[in-house]
Amino acid sequence: MTGTSTVLRVVAFVAALLAVGAAALGVGRAVGPVDGVPLASEAGAEPDHGHDADASGDSPADGAADGAADKPVDVPGLTARADGFTLELADPTLPAGPATLELTIRTSSGRPLLDYDVAHEKELHLIVVRRDLVGFQHVHPVLDRRTGTWSVEVDLTPGTWRVIADFVPEGWQQVTLAEDLAVSGRFQPAPPGQERLTDVVDGYRVTLAGDTAPGAPTELTARIERDGVGVRDLQPYLGAYGHLVALRAGDLGYLHVHPEGQVGTAGEGGGPEIRFATEFPTAGTYRLFLDFRVGNTVHTADFTVTADGAPADSGTSDETGSPDEHQEDSHDH
């Protein structure tokens, strides 16, 4: 009897432990993710509860409350899922050459997001660039509101490409998501190369200067010249005289860069300098792409910046770079 009683006491003790564990897990599920990662709304992505749900039946607030437990990142554009939203490519592979790229932004319930706030005159800005930072394209897809699918024409070379979607869900803050896209064919990688702060594109010479110390807010200045003379007839493009996109080499972290100042009144041109506010979060190599508009044509210059605390000095840079580091053709934005 003594042995039987001991066994019964052990069984009862184990059963009690299991019950306590199950209760604790139930509490964890009731108050949030078991792993303790905060929801998007708890991590600073506060929704505007004054907005109605989108046409799909979800509001951004509903999407975050569904249980999106997204890990924070030091810069945007490192993940396809963040803040309760997911970037989904219709096809993760495309052929080389001209092709139609299709994608959907989904809430955490899986429904397409249909309602966006306009930022820089567009509801969604799409950056498409090969992972070795070649072939940069800044395009603006068209939304099919019946399906929630965005589509746009792109021109791709063989390799792995990064598709970066920059948008503002209605009533929310800016969200940046990214996903890889595979393009078949023989791949010839192009290394980032040394720092290069001067580019010549379509006859325009563009130089970049500013403090590149990592971890601190900074201002970068791009100066545009033609035939040695500063260009003073820049035209507004997407609500500004220029747009600068910065990508960190390696993981292609996406930096938010904001143009400083206001565009002139009708008939006034901008230039020759454009100023941008940004911050390099870590030391390393970054590729910067500047879109500017002159004569109703958008031109794109690119630069390679080393963020190590030393001021950018365009006078010591390589003015031409290698052919692979330049965008030879202007894209229709």
Can you spell out the DSSP letters for 220-245? EEEEEEETTEE---BBPBTTBS-EEE
Residue 146's pLDDT is what? Answer: 95
**Across residues 15-22, what is the average pLDDT?**
38
Residue 74 burial (10 A CB sphere; 0-12, 13-18, 19+): exposed
Both tokens assigned to 65: 């409350």
In this predicted model, which residue has the larger pLDDT, 331 or 38? Answer: 331
Residue 191's pLDDT is what? Answer: 84
What does the pLDDT look like over 182-201, one tens digit per residue?
Answer: 999 999 888 878 999 999 99
**Per-residue confidence band for 122, with pLDDT thresholds at 50, 70 and 90:** very high
Contact present, 224 and 203 (Cβ < 8 Å): no
Both tokens assigned to 267: 């008939």
List the one residue out of 321, 331, 240, 316 whose CA is nearest residue 287.
321
**Per-residue confidence band for 260, with pLDDT thresholds at 50, 70 and 90:** confident
Contact present, 183 and 95 (Cβ < 8 Å): yes
Residue 114: enclosing H or E segment and its boundaries?
none
Residues constituting the chain: 333
Most confident of 23-37, 159-173, 261-275: 159-173
Contact present, 327 and 202 (Cβ < 8 Å): no
132: left (phi over 0), alpha (psi -120 to 50) or beta: alpha
What does the pLDDT look like over 292-320, one tens digit per residue?
Answer: 999 999 999 999 999 986 555 544 334 33
**Per-residue confidence band for 131, with pLDDT thresholds at 50, 70 and 90:** very high
* Position 259 pLDDT exceeds 70: yes
Which residues have C-beta within 8 Å of that of residue 248, sequence separation ≥ 6?
75, 255, 281, 282, 284, 285, 286
Q: 253-281 in b/e burial notation, b at 16+ Cβ within 10 A?
A: bbbebebeeebeeeeeebbbbbbbebbbb
Give me the half-sphere count of Cα atoms (radius 13 Å) on the Cβ side of residue 35: 7
Would you call 198 helix, strand, or coil by DSSP? strand
Per-residue CA distances from 160 to 184, 238, 246 (Å): 9, 28, 19
